[in-house]
Structure 1
Amino acid sequence: MKLSTGYVRASGYAHKVRRVLFALTRGKVEPKEVVRAAGELNQRIFEKLQELSVEKSDVVRITVPFKIEDGRIAWDYENLHVEVYRKSEEEKLAKAMEEVEEREKQLEERIKELEDVAVRLKALSEELIEKLERLKEEHTSLKLRAEE
């Protein structure tokens, strides 16, 4: 398997690594292991970003292969790759990242709205089923009384 953050500001790489890793390993490893492995990888990435003199406002794209062995995530650090796009050199890309971040925020808000609607719909559905069952019971009891 391979973790890839896509383009992300250097200041937000750790959060993105955690989110992507949770998505990639859902149902395959325990959440506690994901947190441990993400922390370990983020420390390695942090050191690499310092070596490369990456600024918080620069844009990075991180890829690293990994395996799941006995319920643990094992990183292939030999193939850890960090691409750096410096804000000072790539103003256009930095501006695009601002747009991407804003759209991600809007998407998360929309997803939350839809989740709330889904919860309300489920409650309404359950209420409707309850009322239908009561109606069926009342109808059956009326039928039985009429037959007496």
Structure 2
Amino acid sequence: MRLSTGFVRASGYARKVRRVLFAIAGGKVPPQEIVRAAGELNRFIFERFQEMGVEKGDVVRISVPFAISEGGIRWDYDGLKIEVYRKSEEEKLAKAMEEVEEREKALEEAIAELSTLAQKLRELSEEIEEKIERIKAEHTGLKLRFEE
């Protein structure tokens, strides 16, 4: 089995671990074992957060395999994965996304202008073709009158 918190602020990871573990293991092991196992995992994660320099405002996603045996929960700490999305990076990402959105908007506006220009060129081209046809018809008509 695997516990996965999904995205959560580092400040709220412990509560999320406990809630997810109750959802997964509830009815399979006694509630006091879930509380004990969640506390054990949360202490381990907290130590890892300190080693990694995780701050309260950072966003994390935690997943860890575990087994239920003889009424207890055993964590596979070797399989623990902690993804960290730093708040400072989040701000940089938000600014980069703003820039991308602004460039996309500018691109859309340029495409709209070019589409309008292309339409005008098509209309002008059709108008020129009509004048050419009219001139040809008049020229042919002149020949025929002259030949008479």
Fold in common (TM above 0.5) = yes
Aligned counterparts of 1:54 and 1:89: Cα–Cα separation in 2 = 12
* 1:68 paired residue number: 68
Residues 1:50 and 2:42 aligned together: no
Aligned-partner residue type, residue 74 of structure 1: R
Aligned counterparts of 1:51 and 1:18: Cα–Cα separation in 2 = 22
Q: Which has the larger radius of gyration?
A: 2
CA deviation digits over 1:70-102, x for unaligned, max 9? 0000000001110000000013889xxxxxxxx
* 2:84 paired residue number: 84
TM-aligned CA distance change 1:67 to 1:92, over 3 Å: farther
Aligned counterparts of 1:51 and 1:27: Cα–Cα separation in 2 = 35
In the TM superposition, residue 49 of structure 1 has moved relative to its aligned partner by: 0.4
SS of residue in 1 equivalent to 2:42: helix
In the TM superposition, residue 26 of structure 1 has moved relative to its aligned partner by: 1.4
Q: Aligned residues: percent identity?
A: 72
CA deviation digits over 1:119-147, x for unaligned, max 9? xxxxxxxxxxxxxxxxxxxxxxxxxxxxx
Aligned counterparts of 2:4 and 2:44: Cα–Cα separation in 1 = 15
CA contact (8 A) 1:65 1:76 kept: yes
CA contact (8 A) 1:10 1:55 kept: yes
Residues 1:9 and 2:9 aligned together: yes
Structure 1 portions without partners, runs of 5+ = 95-148
CA contact (8 A) 1:87 1:93 kept: no
SS of residue in 2 equivalent to 1:68: strand
Aligned counterparts of 1:82 and 1:49: Cα–Cα separation in 2 = 9
CA deviation digits over 1:21-76, x for unaligned, max 9? 00001110000000000000000000000000001000000000000010000000
Equivalences, count: 94
SS of residue in 2 equivalent to 1:6: strand
CA contact (8 A) 1:58 1:86 kept: yes
TM-aligned CA distance change 1:51 to 1:22, over 3 Å: same
SS of residue in 2 equivalent to 1:57: coil
Aligned-partner residue type, residue 73 of structure 2: I
TM-aligned CA distance change 1:93 to 1:27, over 3 Å: farther
Q: Given the two structures, how large is their TM-score scaled by the length of structure 2?
A: 0.61
Aligned-partner residue type, residue 46 of structure 2: F
Structure 2 portions without partners, runs of 5+ = 95-148
What are the residue-to-residue correspondences of 1:95-114 with 2, within 5 Å? none
RMSD over equivalenced CA pairs, Å: 1.5
